[in-house]
Structure 1
Amino acid sequence: MFAKLIDKLKGTQAPAVKTPEIMGLRLGASFELDPLAIRLILDELTIDSCSPTQIIKAAGVVELDGTWVYRFYTDDDAWLQVVAEGGRGDEHVVDVKLFHFYDTLDVANQQAWDSLLKQEIGAESYQLQERSYNRVWTSAGDYHNPVHMSEKTYDVGGDYSVTDQFTMLFERELSDQRTESLFLSAEEKEEHAGYLSRSLVISTGITLTSSQLTIHG
């Protein structure tokens, strides 16, 4: 106890870790979804269910030349993504989407990894459960190289990991003129044991408006 007090007085105590936060969303916080907004389209979505109340268990952030992508991972096997452009304040938020993890596929070798990045992930369309999603990000050619993101993700204990992601966004129209998004992320991560793990993470989601989301700090 006294050693900690002396360290504090000397200014040697480690500063608190600043974890990602925006719109009141942060580690340990929770949010509620308008259940009616989900119920009206649930039969059309890839997911089978969606919890109306979700607790944030991890938080990540990606910085992309004046754009910040915040991701808040929940206890519903989901993640809320908030995109801010031109600044990190609430007033800079331009998009909010709720994604649920669909599947994570191991990438076994270099050949499979190269094929994923150069031939598959950036195609004009992607099929999932006999549903066709069209690529959102445009390209001069038929194929769009995946967009690289480096995400720093924190857990509730303050520990963090860094993951390189090669990503692509797709969407398909729903009956009420909304869309269901499909997010593909080919991910590389150096594990503690020293080896490089690779996987394809598939998630589907919907865009939320401010009236469909209530945040509890």
Structure 2
Amino acid sequence: MFDKLINKFKKPEPKPQTPEIMGLRIGASFEVDPLAIRLILDQLAIETFEPTQIIKAAGVVDLDGTWVYRFYTDDDAWLQVVAEGGQRDECVVDVKLFHFYDTRDVAGQAAWDKLLQCEIGTASYTLDGRTYERVWTAAGDYHNPVHMEETTYDEDGSHSSTDQFTMLFERPLSDQRTESLFLSAEEKLEAGGYLSRCLVLSTGISLSPSQITIHG
């Protein structure tokens, strides 16, 4: 009886605050200027592109003064927004539109160790005949992957955490822009108590404020 009374007056758990910046949030949409991509589409790793995209999930990474927001869309893509020194719109320093290229399972500890220690941080990375140079510099030829812990929120209200070991590459395009290649070795503790591991490859380009329109 007393348990019922306690539960009756107990305050409901507050809903977690989902990532939001620049008007980007779960359920919102954004539109990319078609010319921003179509003029160089034949040079990119992606084959098709949808200008208007709806955000279905959102994630955030806290890197001690730098926040990385990721907004996952219905076009198998994600918009990354980087903010430095604060989480306000005026703190945004970079916006990139990525498309998922491939996801590769990593089976076994030996393969995982080799991926992190020998493969993901090389000076260059070749993908389907395209060579990308590593953006992040290191004293030696190899750069250890950068760890990020992303908390991701789905439109159904659920959320999860993923450890990511990442590296960024890029290659020049004909219009003086670059195409980025983002590698993320991802490790997640599943409900069954086991670790799932995979390598996610995404390619993308930077966007200027004039090339993107955000709809609430």
Distance 1:122 1:55, change over 3 A: same
**1:44-123 correspondence to structure 2 within 5 Å:** 44-123=43-122
Residue 14 (structure 1) shift? 2.0
1:25 and 2:13 aligned: no
In structure 2, the residue matched to 1:202 is 201
- Give the structure 2 partner of residue 180 of structure 1: 179
Paired AA for residue 191 in structure 1 = E
> What SS does structure 2 have at the residue aligned with 1:112?
helix
Note the residue ranges of structure 1 that are not aligned, 5 or more in a row: 1-5
Aligned to 1:38: 37
CA–CA separation in structure 1 for the residues paired with 2:87 and 2:69? 10
Q: Deviations over 1:47-99 (max 9, x none)?
A: 00111100000000000010000000000000000000000000000000000
Name the CA distance, whole Å, in 2 between partners of 1:65 and 1:15: 25
Q: Within 1, Cα distance between the matches of 2:166 and 2:201?
A: 10
Instruction: Please list every run of at least 4 consecutive aligned residues from structure 1 whose deviation after the TM superposition is greater than 6 angstroms.
Output: 6-9
Secondary structure at 2:83's aligned position in 1? Answer: strand
Q: How many residues align?
A: 212
Percent identity, aligned pairs only?
A: 74
The amino acid across from 1:39 in the alignment is: R
Considering only aligned residues, what root-mean-square deviation do their CA atoms show, in Å? 1.5
- When normalised by structure 2's length, the TM-score is 0.95
Q: Residue 25 of structure 2 aligns to a residue in which SS?
A: coil
- How far residue 10 of structure 1 moved from its aligned partner, in angstroms, is 4.3
1:11 deviation in Å? 6.1
2:9 and 2:111 map into 1 onto residues whose CA distance is 54
Report the counterpart of residue 191 of structure 2 in structure 1: 192
Structure 2 unaligned regions, length at least 5: none
CA contact 1:7–1:13 (8 Å) conserved in 2: no
| Structure 1 residue 8 displacement after superposition | 11
Shift of 1:194: 1.3
- Given that 1:126 and 1:134 are in contact with CA atoms closer than 8 Å, whether structure 2 keeps it comes out as yes
